[in-house]
Structure 1
Amino acid sequence: MHAIRCQCGTVRAQINGKGIHNHIVCYCRDCRAFAHFLGTGEGTLDAQGGTEVIQVSQARLQFSQGVEQLAAIRLTDKGMVRWYTTCCKTPLGNIMSDPKMAFIGLIHTALDRDNIDKDFGPITARFETAAALGVAKPAQHGIFPVICRFIGMSLAARLSGSYKQSPLFDVKAQLIVQARVLDAATVAALKAE
């Protein structure tokens, strides 16, 4: 098990068992905008604006307390659902709105920092590096293996039916909280930061 907790400790969860996962850094403007929306850029983003993420099956995620503190936003009405805590604005992770796409990209700020590499291995891929901050961009790498593991994770969840065990969707396959869609002007301002 890998412990998950928000910065103030009100929300607690864990990732159960072993399974397919990805350990990546994403430099996209959307991930940066999310961190700026929460006011957590300094603690969430690396020096070049990257967000360290662990992708796992949602069925492996289990909350033990604080579910009532969960909230979600979307940068567009069709964009990813980005989860955070209302108690202390800790970014938790990103999912697709379709419950059959049963992965969650957990953001390092809610993970057990001391055990990330032990539990998930080193960073194996860097995405959207053209959007990284600074002149010398990190090299983009590891995309094909990440896509293969992602497909494997999603296919296994669909075939086994485990996608129905996500704690972020109810029995009617609806998000447990309604995601707020940010207006275009707000998103543009966040991406400009």
Structure 2
Amino acid sequence: MHPIQCRCGAVKGQLESNNTHNRLICHCTDCRAFARFLGNPSAVLDKQGGTEIVQIAQQHLRFLQGEELLSAVRLSDKGMLRWYTSCCSTPIGNTMADSKVSFIGLVHACLDRERMDRDFGAEIAVLNTDTALGDPQPKQRGLVGVIARFIWIVVTNRIGGGYRKSPLFDASGLPRVVPKVLKPEELASLKVDA
């Protein structure tokens, strides 16, 4: 089990880490906007604006305390659900709004950095490098493997019914909290790169 915890310790959980997963760094502008929305981008983003993420099936995630402190935001009315804690604005992860697409991209800020290599392997894919900050931009790597494992996670959980065991969606498939949806001008202000 890999521990999950927010910065202040009010939200704790665990993740079965020995299942199919992806470990990657995403340099997309949406991940940067989410980090800025939470108010502490330096705790989430690397020097080139990348966010390290572990993608895994939601059914392998368990909250042990503080579930009532989970919140969600959508960067647009059709955007992903981006989960975080209301107590200390720690990012938890990203999911699709459809509970049947049952993966979560857990943001490294809620994971145990000292155990990342042991629990998820040292191989890290690098994606969306065309929007990375700085020069030179990093080179993209590992995309094919990420796509293949992502499809495996989603399809096997859809066929096997594992998507029904998500701690983030209720039995009817709705998110356990009503997400805040950002207005276009709010999102635009979060996407301004200094």
Q: What does residue range 132-147 of structure 1 map to in structure 2 within 5 Å?
A: 132-147=132-147
Pairwise mapping of residues 40-51 of structure 1 onto structure 2 (< 5 A)? 40-51=40-51
Letter paired with 2:170: D
**Per-residue deviation, residues 112-162 of structure 1 (Å, max 9, x unmatched):** 111011000124311110111102000011111100000001111011101
Q: Which residue of 2 aligns with 1:10?
A: 10
Structure 2-normalised TM-score?
Answer: 0.98
Q: Who is 2:180 aligned against?
A: 180
AA in 2 matched with 1:121: G
Residue identity (%)? 49
Runs of 4+, deviation exceeding 6 Å: none
Query: Cα offset for 1:182?
Result: 0.2
How far apart, CA to CA, are the structure 2 residues paired with 1:152 and 1:115?
24
Query: Which residue in 2 is equivalent to 1:55?
Result: 55
SS in 2 for 1:192: coil
Alignment partners' CA distance in 2, 1:115 and 1:156: 27
Deviation by residue 1:29-78 (Cα, 9 ceiling, x = unmatched): 00000000111211100000000000010000000000110000001111
Query: Using the alignment, how far apart are the partners of 2:156 and 2:122 within structure 1?
Result: 24
CA contact (8 A) 1:58 1:104 kept: yes
User: In the alignment, is the contact (CA less than 8 A) between 2:17 and 2:119 conserved in 1?
Assistant: no
Give the number of aligned pairs.
Answer: 193
User: Whole-Å Cα distance in 2 between the matches of residues 123 and 69 of structure 1?
Assistant: 32
- 8 Å CA contact 1:25–1:123 kept in 2: the answer is no
Matched-pair contact (CA < 8 Å) for 2:54–2:105:
yes
Q: Is the 8 A contact 2:81 2:95 kept in 1?
A: yes
1:113 aligns with 2:92: no
Who is 1:28 aligned against?
A: 28
Partner residue, 1:78: 78
CA contact (8 A) 2:102 2:163 kept: yes
Does the aligned pair in 1 maintain the 2:35–2:44 contact within 8 Å? yes
Residue-by-residue CA offset, 1:74-128 (whole Å, 9 max, x unaligned): 0111111000000000011000011111100000000011101100012431111
